[in-house]
Amino acid sequence: MSKSKKNIQVQLESEKINGDVYDVLKVGNESIGKIREIENNKYEVTSSNDDVFRVKNADEGIEVLLSEYHLHKN
């Protein structure tokens, strides 16, 4: 028997943290990580586990955060 699909609300909100502007990715009310542009076409992604990744664009950063979230969920 297959599991029923659940709709999950994902939001990307801009927040100022320690003087830097971050895009914070949230699943429901839980923050799963943040993304900030460090140079032109270079982004730093920090997961909720404080793992840091470097990516080429914000979309790639969102994919990394969602992958990490599903990997470490439960």
Domain ranges (residues) in the chain: 10-72
The position carrying tokens 């900030």 is: 36
The answer to whether 21 and 30 have CB atoms below 8 angstroms apart is no
Question: For the segment 10-62, what is each residue's pLDDT rounded down to a tens digit?
Answer: 999 999 989 999 999 999 889 999 999 999 889 999 999 899 999 999 999 99
Helix (H), strand (E), coil (C) string for the chain: CCCCCCCCCEEEEEEEECCEEEEEEEECCEEEEEEEEEECCEEEEEECCCCEEEECCHHHHHHHHHHHHHHHCC
Q: Give the predicted TM-score (pTM) of the model.
A: 0.82
